[in-house]
Amino acid sequence: MPEERLQKLMAHAGIASRRECERIIAQNRVTVNGSVAQVGDKADPEVDEIRVDGQVLSTPENFEYIVLNKPRDYISDVDVGGNLPSARDLIPVSTRLYPVGRLDVPSEGLMLFTDDGDLTHKLTHPRYGHTRVYHVLVEGMPTEEALTRWREGFYLDGKRTLRTKVVRSRTENGSTWLIISMKEGRKRQIRRAASTMGYPVRRLIRVQLGPIELGDLRPGSWRRLTAEEIARLKSISAGRDGSGKRQKANRR
């Protein structure tokens, strides 16, 4: 492949934004074939050895795609205060991995980790509108009126939520399990919506992200994606829905 500027290669690999990658290069943290790189340098990852903080830069041919069942009370990213265990630490893989989206500390379920920066952008940017599915236990027994309001959308922080699929699943000791399918992911959106309706969340488990499903993976366990799952993700990167059909960007 032709040579590209280092910051572009690094951003594509999911290290950081191009601007931040330029800062990393300027801090002498990047080498090409053993020599410290400078801002503006170019390289070809197929023939050059590019390292960031001593770790070889991943290329599209050797990206990692890992799904984890995050347990409750783990932080999705790094806890700078060092008070909480990190979900990333449950995956004994040395590759520099980043979470695709996040789950709140008390939330559980499917998290995807990868070093594929382009895919991360496609799965997390609101304009692509990929489906997320959650099993949610709320206090009490929501009325049909409340669920209808939730489904049709309402205002949070002055902005209307998108239509959401909310299905009543079963009751459990005076609480209710709901199956929630949505195509947006504002911060703590489900918890805030449930509290607004008067039915606070007791448990929240993500079971699907885009075409990837949690299945029977146990809490704290992880696995690499299958070739078929990776193909579906690469269809997303190509702007398709996993079945070969071109996706339409989500319009609000």
State pLDDT tens for residues 172-188: 999 999 999 998 878 89
Confirm if 14 and 99 have CB atoms less than 8 A apart. Answer: no
User: Quick one: which of 133, 129, 165, 135 has its CA closest to 150?
Assistant: 165
- CA atoms of 252 and 25, how far apart (whole Å): 38
pTM of the model: 0.72
Strand-pair partners of 143: none
- CA atoms of 167 and 182, how far apart (whole Å): 12
Chain-wide mean pLDDT for the chain? Answer: 86
- Where do the H-state alpha helices sit in 27-164? 117-124, 144-152
**Which of 41, 48, 104, 118 is flagged as catalytic?**
104
Confirm if 45 and 9 have CB atoms less than 8 A apart. Answer: yes
- CA atoms of 68 and 63, how far apart (whole Å): 16
pLDDT value, residue 251: 38
Structural domains present in the chain: 4-57 (3.10.290.10), 65-126+211-237 (3.30.70.580), 131-209 (3.30.70.1560)
Report the pLDDT averaged over residues 205-231. 93
Tokens standing for residue 7: 């910051």
Is residue 104 part of the annotated active site? The answer reads: yes
Pick from 71-75, 106-110, 204-208, 236-240: least confident: 236-240
pLDDT digits (tens, 9 = 90+) for 130-183: 889 999 999 999 999 999 999 999 888 889 988 999 999 999 999 999 999 998
> In this structure, how many other beta carbons lie within 10 angstroms of the beta carbon of residue 117?
20
Confirm if 65 and 117 have CB atoms less than 8 A apart. Answer: no
pLDDT digits (tens, 9 = 90+) for 42-57: 998 878 999 999 988 8
Q: Are strands 165-172 and 175-182 parallel, antiparallel or unpaired?
A: antiparallel
